Amino acid sequence: MSDPTARLTVTTDGDRIVVAGDIDAHTCPDLAAALDPLPGSGDVRLDVADVGFIDSSGLRVIIGTHQQAEASDRRLLIEQPSKSVSRILEISGLTDHLHIVEAG
Amino acid sequence: MSSFDTPPTDRQLTVEADVANLGRLREHVAAAADRTGASDDIIEQLQLVVSELATNAIQYNDADTLTVAVHGDDQSWTIDVSNADGLVEIGAPTLPDSSALSGRGLFLVDSVMDRVELVEVDGRLHVRCVKFAG
């Protein structure tokens, strides 16, 4: 049964990870656990369309995972970034340093 | 640093200094700002600010509790976050290198707010942030 108080859900389906809710210092360990070790053997797809909030704690997980993927000649694809995700990536100057896949 | 004789105590929330309370603090700030007619963009920025400052306070101070006070009208919003005793000064935070894993919190706060300063309230340092409409 799902935890009604949970602010973040992380669902893994092969190389695709779907994240929904709030990513902060409290919830980011759940995201980090889903990304370490990297799932699958190719690009890792991180769907963040339903992330309602993210702060620098979440950024730390994303940047660390991006670096881990690059080190093994793989990519972390940040798919369909929500408004909150897009804004913090832009403010942080990370838009051009990460692999971002906007909604088609 | 400046002192402040009458801290904004309306819409104040004190919680145990635990990251498990970050969501509750964000909800508190959002509700208080919403009552003043703040836009969704402003509310989102205020939530980011309180999350960053509260996380810093929890991680770098030994206080058992954390207090967030929100004060505002339809033209400006002020957030006070205790305790900032571990901070010597706010200064002008610089953007870390893109490969850095940490060090972005205060930069983000400074980027979305119009004024960020340390103030002394009841003998303890707080971070005070002000956002103006428009």
pLDDT (tens digit per residue) in B66-104: 999 998 888 899 999 987 666 656 777 888 888 899 889
The pLDDT value recorded for residue B86 is 65
In order of their start, the domains of chain A are 15-101 (3.30.750.24)
Average pLDDT over residues A14-29: 96
In order of their start, the domains of chain B are 2-132 (3.30.565.10)
pTM to 2 decimal places: 0.91
Measured between beta carbons, which residues in chain B are less than 8 angstroms from residue A25? Answer: 19, 22, 55, 58-59
| Strand-strand pairing, A16-23 and A8-13 | antiparallel
Average pLDDT over residues B38-45: 94
Measured between beta carbons, which residues in chain A are less than 8 angstroms from residue B95? Answer: 92-93
Average pLDDT over residues B49-73: 90
The pLDDT value recorded for residue A16 is 94
Strand ranges inside B8-123, DSSP E: 12-16, 65-72, 76-82, 115-121
Q: Do B19 and A55 touch (CB under 8 A)?
A: no
Per the CB < 8 A criterion, the answer to whether A53 and A24 are in contact is yes
A5: tokens are 């108080």
- Listed residue (B116, B114, B111, B55) closest to B80, CA to CA: B116
The pLDDT value recorded for residue B4 is 47
